[in-house]
């Protein structure tokens, strides 16, 4: 990754025609995305949208008790803040940085103005939103019907698709919060993957050693989301296998 982030590292921005880029890019603001940064809380009015370049952001649903569960992950394939152009202006989810990096922030009104031109931006945003809905629906099914081992494999694969390397900086406690399960369950699941030689876990750092092996252990949920994303967002480059 270059030292200075570029808007073209985000696949949505890179897919825009030149004339749309000329209208939007002057208003893009580079933003550091440290681990744990909250972009918005449940119920906040969204004033900006964020286009990650090398950061990953989790969308979480937070219960009144404080318990939470991840409903989707967003990386360089998409944006955070679909409520801005869908007309809702706010959302019941929380957006928090899961993997540190950078993003570009755009005033929500600029995106809405471009969206309302009924051109390429509208088509791109609608297709992206459909892929995001697919991920949310499949995550709900996975959390209900599949084991913690399978959920962890799905989470690892979705995260890897949004990173350049094969290493994730993430504590087991944070993973447990993402999956909405007990920390002990994540510890056991991660231990199994490590014994199989699929990952190496140490001090909040997960290195994936055998991606094909993780894909074999994973439930069908990852493949469903990946297939639909590839169909709807053909501009996203195919990630080579590790």
Question: Rounded CA gap, 208 and 89, in Å?
Answer: 38
Q: Which residue has the tokens 């030149």?
A: 18
101-107 and 48-52 as β-strands: parallel, antiparallel, unpaired?
antiparallel
pLDDT confidence tier of residue 166, bands split at 50, 70 and 90: confident
Per-residue pLDDT averaged across 70-80, rounded? 92
* CATH number for domain 146-229, candidates 3.30.420.10, 3.40.50.2300, 1.10.10.10, 2.40.70.10: 1.10.10.10
Average pLDDT in the 22-44 region?
93
**CA 21, CA 78: separation in Å to the nearest integer?**
16
Going by pLDDT thresholds of 50, 70 and 90, the confidence category of residue 173 is confident
What's the CA gap between 177 and 157, in Å, rounded?
17
Domain spans of the chain, in order of start? 7-142, 146-229
Q: Please answer whether residues 113 and 81 qualify as being in contact, where contact means their C-beta atoms are separated by less than 8 angstroms.
A: no
Tokens, residue 139: 């995550």
Cα gap 130→34, rounded to integer Å: 28
Q: How far apart are CA 72 and CA 141, in angstroms?
A: 12
- pLDDT, tens digit, for every residue of 106-156? 999 999 999 999 999 999 999 999 999 999 999 888 878 888 888 889 989
d(CA 51, CA 76): 7
- The mean per-residue pLDDT over the stretch 164-186 comes to 76
Q: Which of 1-10, 73-82, 110-119, 158-167 has the lowest mean pLDDT?
A: 1-10
Distances 153 to 40, 169, 185, 215, 228 between C-alpha atoms, Å: 27, 16, 13, 7, 18
Contact present, 135 and 225 (Cβ < 8 Å): yes
Q: For 7-142, CATH number?
A: 2.60.120.10
List the end-to-end C-alpha distance of the chain, in Å, as a whole number: 17
Report the predicted TM-score, pTM, of the whole model to 2 decimal places: 0.88
């Amino acid at each position: 990754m270059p030292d200075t982030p570029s808007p073209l590292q985000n696949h949505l921005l890179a897919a825009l025609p030149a004339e749309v880029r000329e209208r939007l890019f002057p208003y893009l603001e580079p933003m550091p995305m440290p681990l744990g940064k909250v972009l918005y809380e449940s119920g906040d009015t969204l004033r900006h949208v964020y286009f990650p370049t090398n950061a990953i952001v989790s969308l979480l649903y937070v219960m009144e008790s404080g318990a939470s569960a991840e409903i989707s992950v967003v990386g360089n394939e998409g944006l955070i803040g679909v409520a801005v152009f869908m007309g809702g202006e706010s959302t019941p989810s929380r957006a928090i940085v899961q993997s540190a990096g950078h993003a570009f922030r755009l005033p929500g009104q600029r995106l809405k103005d471009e969206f309302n031109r009924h051109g390429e931006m509208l088509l791109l945003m609608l297709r992206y939103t459909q892929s995001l809905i697919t991920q949310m629906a499949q995550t709900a099914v996975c959390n209900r019907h599949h084991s913690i081992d399978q959920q962890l494999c799905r989470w690892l694969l979705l995260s890897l698709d949004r990173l350049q390397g094969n290493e994730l900086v993430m504590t087991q406690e944070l993973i447990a919060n993402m999956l909405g399960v007990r920390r002990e369950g994540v510890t056991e699941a991660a231990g199994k993957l490590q014994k199989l030689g699929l990952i190496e876990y140490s001090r909040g750092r997960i290195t994936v050693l055998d991606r094909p092996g993780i894909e074999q252990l994973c439930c069908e949920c990852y493949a469903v989301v990946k297939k639909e994303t590839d169909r709807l967002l053909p501009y996203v480059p195919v990630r080579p296998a590790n």
